[in-house]
A and B are shown apart, each in its own frame.
Chain A
C-alpha cells in the first residue's frame, strides 16, 4: 500500500572539463504509520451496542495532518460493511445492532493522500436483545363467589386468567379446609375443576397460573361454605 513518489533531479557539474559527475537524490513522502487498535479490545463479547471505537494515533514522517478511515463489517472479508467514514480524531462513536458479530479496522491517510496499510482486524459481539416475559395477571374468581354457600357435594371451581403475551397458561389448583391447602390439580389447562366436598365445611382455594416461560402468578385465597 505504500506509494512512494520519486522525484529525481539530476545536476550536472562541469569542472575543468575533465570530470562529468551525476548525483541522484530521492525526495519521497512517506505514508503515515499503520494505526493500532485500542478499544473495544479484540474478541470482546457481549458489549453494549453503542460503542466508542478508539485507535492509537499514527505518525507521519513529514508531520502531515492525518485522517483515519474506519470500517465496521459483519464479516471479516469486509464484504458487508455496515459503518464506515473518515475522521480526524482517533475515536468514533457508533450505534450498532444488538446480537451481532462485527469486524473492524482503521486506515490512516496523510494530507498528501498517502495511505497506510489497514490495521489488524478486530472483532466484537454485541449484547443480546433481552427476552421479555409478562407474568400472568392475577387469576379472577368466577365461581363459587366469595364467601357464598354451596348446597351440593360437588362443585365446579371456576376462574379466569389472562396473559399480556398471550402465553398458553396452565394452572395448579389448591383446595383446603382451615387454610391448609392440598394440591388438587397440577398443570391443567382448563379454567375449571370439578371437586367433591364435605358437608358443613368452610373451604379455601387458590389457583396458580403459570405461563410458558416459567412465570407464575399465585392467586388470592377464595373461600366458600358447604351446607347441603
Chain B
C-alpha cells in the first residue's frame, strides 16, 4: 500500500489530512474509514498487492519512531477497537473476493483514478464489477458508466440498483466507496447458511450488509440500525436579553457526526455536529431532528424562550396584626419606582429599599421610570404558623394561628394513604378555629390548611 521508505498512510492522514467544516481526515475514525476506501482501490486492481503488518488495523506510528529503521511498537490492542477492526474486516473481504471470483483477475479492466472521484471497471464472462470511491472531503456526484443495464448489486449495503440506462450519476459522501457487481454475491469469507462472517447474528445468505461493524445492533437483514446514545444531543436554549429584542437562541451539539436536519418554524436547518439558531422571539417552540441515515428516525423537543424583563425586586413579608408589611428591595431598574397594589397605584419612590403595607393575597407590581424595563409582579403570601391541639385529639381539634388573624381558610383532612376525607372552607376568628373530628376513625391524619396560612400538620385521633 505505501512505499517501504515512506510514512504510513494513517500517519499522514492524522498529520496532514485535509479538513472541511464538517469533515476532517485528521479525525481518527474518519482517517480509519479512508483506509477502507484506499483498500477498496488497492485490492480490486488485478495483480499482487502488499500491505505492511498492522496496516490493516490503521497503524499510525511514524516511520521515524525509534529512528527510521528502529523498532516500532507492536499494537495488537488495535484489534479491540471496532473502527480499526473494521479495516481488517473490509480488507479481508476484498482479499477473499479476489481469491474467490475470477473477475478480480481479469485482463479486461479500466482504471479511472486520476481525479479525486475514482472508479475501476472489471469485465469478465462470469460477471462485471464496478468499484467507485470519493477521495474528496466533500460530497461529489460521480458519472458512472455501467457496462450493462439490468440489476446491479452493491456488495456492502445490499442495495439493488435497477438501471435501464448504463450512464448513471451517483452521489457519494466524502470517503465513501461502493462495489457494484452484476451478479448477486455472498460473503466470500463464508457465504453459506451456516456462516455468519461478520458475526452480527444474521447468516451470510440472509445478510444484506455482510460487513457490519462489530458491536452494532442490526435489523433482520443484518444491517446496522441507526441508534443514538441517550446523551448524543445536548440542546440549550437561551432567553431574550432585552425586551423587544427577540434574541433568544437555540444551540445543539451532537456527539455523532451524521447528516442531521432540523425543522423549526417551518424552516429546515442542516447540520452535522453543531447548530446554532439565533434571534428567536419569546414564545414556545417545537422542533424535530432527522437524519439522512435513517428516514424513520425522529427526535422532537419543545422549549421556551422567556421574554426579557429588566426590573427585578426582592420582597420579604412581615406580619403586623391583620396586615403584612412587605419590604421591597429593588435590585435593578431605573428610578423612580411606582408600586401598585392590586393594580392601584400605592407609592412612588426613588428609594431602593422601602416598606409597604399589604394584605395576604394582594398582588404587588412595580414599574420603573422606563417602560421597557418591564414589570415586576408578586403575589403576597404569608406564612402564618399554625399549631393544633390537643394532639392526640378525641372530638374537637383546635387550630391556633399566629397574630390573632381573622380570615377564611380551606381545611382538608387527609388520611395516611393520601386520600382526602373531608374538605371545608372555615373561618378563623381571632387566630383560632375548631374542627369536629369525632366521626374519624382512630389513627393518624394530616390536616392541610390553604389560604392565609398554607401548612400541613400531622395529628393522632384517639
Interface residues of A (CB under 8 A from B): 43, 45-47, 98-101, 123, 125, 127-135, 137-140, 160-162, 164, 213-218, 220
Contact = CB atoms under 8 A, between A and B. Distances in A.
B145 interface: no
Contacts of A160: 230
B241 interface: yes
Contacts of A46: 241-243, 245, 308, 310, 372
B82 to A, nearest CB: 21
B75 to A, nearest CB: 34
Interface of B: 228, 230-243, 245, 248-249, 284, 299-304, 306, 308, 310, 332-334, 369-370, 372-373
Given A127-B245, A128-B241, A161-B230, 12 more contacts: A43-B334, A46-B241, A99-B310, A128-B242, A130-B241, A135-B236, A135-B237, A137-B231, A160-B230, A162-B231, A214-B284, A218-B300
Given A125-B370, A215-B301, A218-B301, A134 B236 contact: yes
Given A45-B373, A214-B284, A214-B304, A138 B237 contact: no
Nearest to B239: A131
B334 A125 contact: yes
B303 A214 contact: yes
B303 A215 contact: yes
Given A125-B373, A137-B231, A215 B237 contact: yes
Nearest to A49: B241
Contact of B299 (A133, A138, A162, A164): A138
Nearest to B228: A138
A215 to B, nearest CB: 5
A130 B239 contact: yes
Looking at A129, A130, A215, the one whose CB has the most chain B CB atoms below 10 A away is A130
Given A127-B241, A128-B308, A133-B303, A45 B284 contact: no
Contacts of A133: 236-238, 303
A101 B236 contact: no
Contacts of B304: 213-215
Contact of B334 (A101, A162, A218, A220): A101
A165 to B, nearest CB: 9
A216 B286 CA distance: 9
A129 B303 CA distance: 18
Contact of A134 (B232, B235, B299, B308): B235
Contacts of B245: 46, 127
A158 to B, nearest CB: 14
Nearest to B330: A101
Nearest to A76: B335
A144 B105 CA distance: 52
A147 to B, nearest CB: 11
Contact of B230 (A98, A128, A135, A138): A138
B234 A134 contact: yes
B334 A132 contact: no
Given A128-B242, A130-B238, A135 B231 contact: no
A101 B333 CA distance: 7
A131 B306 CA distance: 8
Looking at A127, A139, A162, the one whose CB has the most chain B CB atoms below 10 A away is A127
28 contacts: A45-B243, A45-B373, A46-B241, A98-B241, A99-B332, A123-B334, A125-B310, A125-B332, A128-B242, A130-B238, A130-B239, A130-B240, A130-B241, A131-B239, A131-B306, A132-B236, A132-B239, A133-B236, A137-B231, A138-B228, A138-B299, A139-B230, A162-B230, A215-B304, A216-B302, A217-B235, A217-B300, A220-B299
A90 to B, nearest CB: 26
Contacts of B237: 132-133, 135, 215
Contact of B301 (A135, A162, A220): A135
A214 B235 CA distance: 13
B51 to A, nearest CB: 40
